[in-house]
Amino acid sequence: MPIINPGTISANYIRMRHWGEHNYWYTPTCNVPKEVMEKVLSDDNTFLLACNEYEVDSSILYQLLDLGIPRKKIVLITEDADFTLANYWACGGEMSMTMQCRRFPEFKTLEKKEYLKSFLNFNRRWRIHRPFFVALLKSNNLLDKGFVSLGTSDDYQTWDLVFDKLIKLSDEEFRQLLTKHKNEIVQLPEMYLDSDNLVDSKDRIDNFNKIIELYQNSYFSVVSETYFFEVVGRFLTEKTFKSIGFKHPFILMAQPYSLKLLKNMGYKTFHPIIDESYDNEVDPIKRMKLIINDVERLSKMNTEQVHTFIDEVKEVVEHNFYTLLRKNQHIKKIG
């Protein structure tokens, strides 16, 4: 299977090279050339790789089906592993990070030393679980334990706009906690890590050396995936695979059973070193409590405990890195 980075493909239609027994053709639009249509329809070993940027959009699949292309001949490049309208999928975030890992310079993480911060937590758009998590960090005196980003992005949300939403989502325990610390939360400054431009991601230039330093100076990540409260499929993006690529253990703030999906893709996770019972919790508030509780536990370890933690997770992070680095088969059957 060819390694593809959907975000770097600019042509409307690109033929991919022959791989094993199959030919794969990539299309981000439905402008499929006649000769390609004939090849896909007549050759059992020729498939279409369809992608509509990173967000799942069923329209491109429906349009390809309307052209008469059988569902079994379409592979959807998406982060949604449960996109049941398609028969096959290829995880775009994994594919992108496989390519990027092959260009990474040599660097070390998880050294036995004193750490500036305990954890790393990148946030761009203010999807509601992200300010919720940051608000809980602040309320539990954990915000200073991590490298955390949350500033003005292209959705132009602010604490004044989201705080009432957090209260409505909360149970009684969280409601009392957040209300008690409301003034501290809504007065939080904008927080930036690798870049202070979170509005225009295409023009933003990431400081790669700065990103490396963030991973090197913390010993675990809290990955804020795209969806948490929403009732949608399991959605794995480059955010998850970035932690794998930088050899960082992680807590995955995502849909339930997302860790189970990662295991099915060949990766290992960190239980019982990290309490991963959150992955089986379908109630998002209960899942958030399990996450924040273990972030607190891990953040308050002393130096000796941190070094033991590093010894215990090293085998998993190395396995995951080389699994990602050596991936040459990304297509999975849905279901």
Task: Map tokens 């939080």 to a residue.
Answer: 188
Structure tokens at 275: 């309490």
Residues 306, 196, single domain; the answer is yes
pLDDT, tens digit, 9 for 90 and up, residues 203-262: 444 578 899 999 999 999 999 999 999 988 888 989 999 999 999 999 999 999 999 999
Residues 312, 232, single domain; the answer is yes
Residues 152, 237, single domain; the answer is yes
In a domain, 105, yes or no: no
Please return the burial class of 231, using the count of CB atoms within 10 Å of its CB with bins 0-12, 13-18 and 19+. exposed
**Domain edge (last residue) among 46, 63, 78:** 78
DSSP code, position 332: E
In a domain, 208, yes or no: yes
**Domain edge (last residue) among 78, 107, 129:** 78
Residues 129, 58, single domain; the answer is no
Phi-psi region of 318 (alpha: psi -120 to 50; beta: other; left: phi over 0): alpha
Domain interval for residue 31 = 6-78
* Residue 4 scores a pLDDT above 60: no
Query: What is the value of pTM for the model shown?
Result: 0.86
Residues 257, 178, single domain; the answer is yes
**Domain edge (last residue) among 78, 102, 132:** 78
pLDDT, tens digit, 9 for 90 and up, residues 110-151: 999 999 999 999 999 999 999 999 999 999 999 999 999 999
Residues 32, 181, single domain; the answer is no
Three-state secondary-structure class, residue 146: strand
Residues 73, 123, single domain; the answer is no
Indicate the number of domains in the chain. Answer: 2
In a domain, 212, yes or no: yes
